[in-house]
Amino acid sequence: MGVEQEVYRHGKLVAAQIGHALPARCVTCNRPAQALFFKELSYLPWYLWPRETLFTVIHFWSRGRFSRPFEMYRTEIEIPLCATHDAKRSRSSWLLYVLMISAFLTFFAGGYFSENIMGFVYTAGGLFLATLLVFLFQYKPFRLRKIDQRFVWLSRISPEYLATLPELEI
């Protein structure tokens, strides 16, 4: 990425200038980073959701002949994590994949092998519900607040990490 000087704190948020690297410390506990978690971020302001939904439907119905104006902000960022928090993030992602695959396999195995399919349907439904719950409560070391023309705004950053950054004057 870039240089570390363009990363600031603003209250409880980190404002990282687009294209610049975060300091090489874990954003969760402020220990030296052992891994970089590469993440592509996109942000669509809430007030544009209805308009984008309408454009998506029109784009689908017109079979792609209608091109919509797209105002979603996108960027890439590397999040530094210590070995403990990187392993925790990795485990929660793998658990999500395992639950999702087992839900699909249970559903299809029930349809293929069983005369009484309801037991498999209930099991697959339970696994889909478990997948949804794991997705909702999955470990996320940060939360994207917004992306504007200059900064990526992140929350859920440790106070120790924030204390090491200069204050952003707006």
pLDDT in tens, 40-80: 887 777 777 787 777 777 777 776 665 555 556 778 889 99
Tally Cβ neighbours within 10 Å of residue 16.
26
Amino acid identity, residue 16? Answer: A
How far CA 57 is from CA of 45, 51, 100, in Å, comes to 19, 10, 28
Q: Give the helix ranges, DSSP H, for the chain.
A: 49-61, 83-113, 118-136, 159-163
Mean pLDDT of the chain: 81
Q: pLDDT tens across 130-168, in order?
A: 888 887 777 888 888 888 888 999 999 999 999 999 998
pLDDT of residue 106: 75
pLDDT band, residue 110 (cuts 50/70/90): low
Q: What's the confidence (pLDDT) of residue 76?
A: 86
The amino acid that residue 85 corresponds to is: H
| pTM confidence score | 0.67
For a pLDDT cut of 90, what percent of the chain falls above it? 30
Q: What is the mean pLDDT of residues 108-124?
A: 70
Contact 57, 68 (CB under 8 A): no
